[in-house]
Structure 1
Amino acid sequence: MDAKLWYYFYIAKIFLIFCVIFGCFMLSGRLFLVTHKSYKKVG
């Protein structure tokens, strides 16, 4: 097992997880803003 390979694999995995979490956070934030605006219009 190459240590450097494992190191890069570990970083790539963390980066991927971070991207997924960040993407979900941005999406939910945008969704919340849109629903909040429409809710304010209705209410």
Structure 2
Amino acid sequence: SITEVLFPLGDDAIVHPGHGPDTTIGRERTTNPFVLEFVATPRD
């Protein structure tokens, strides 16, 4: 999952998405509405 694989890389880790400009884990963690919803949704 995102929280297990990508978040441990740290907020300064650069992400090269398949669309749009490069970003960082920290930026996505705090501004991406899909990531915010994913993190807020309880998992079993």
- TM-score exceeds 0.5: no
Structure with greater Cα Rg: 1
By percentage of residues, which structure has more helix?
1
TM-score using structure 2 length:
0.26
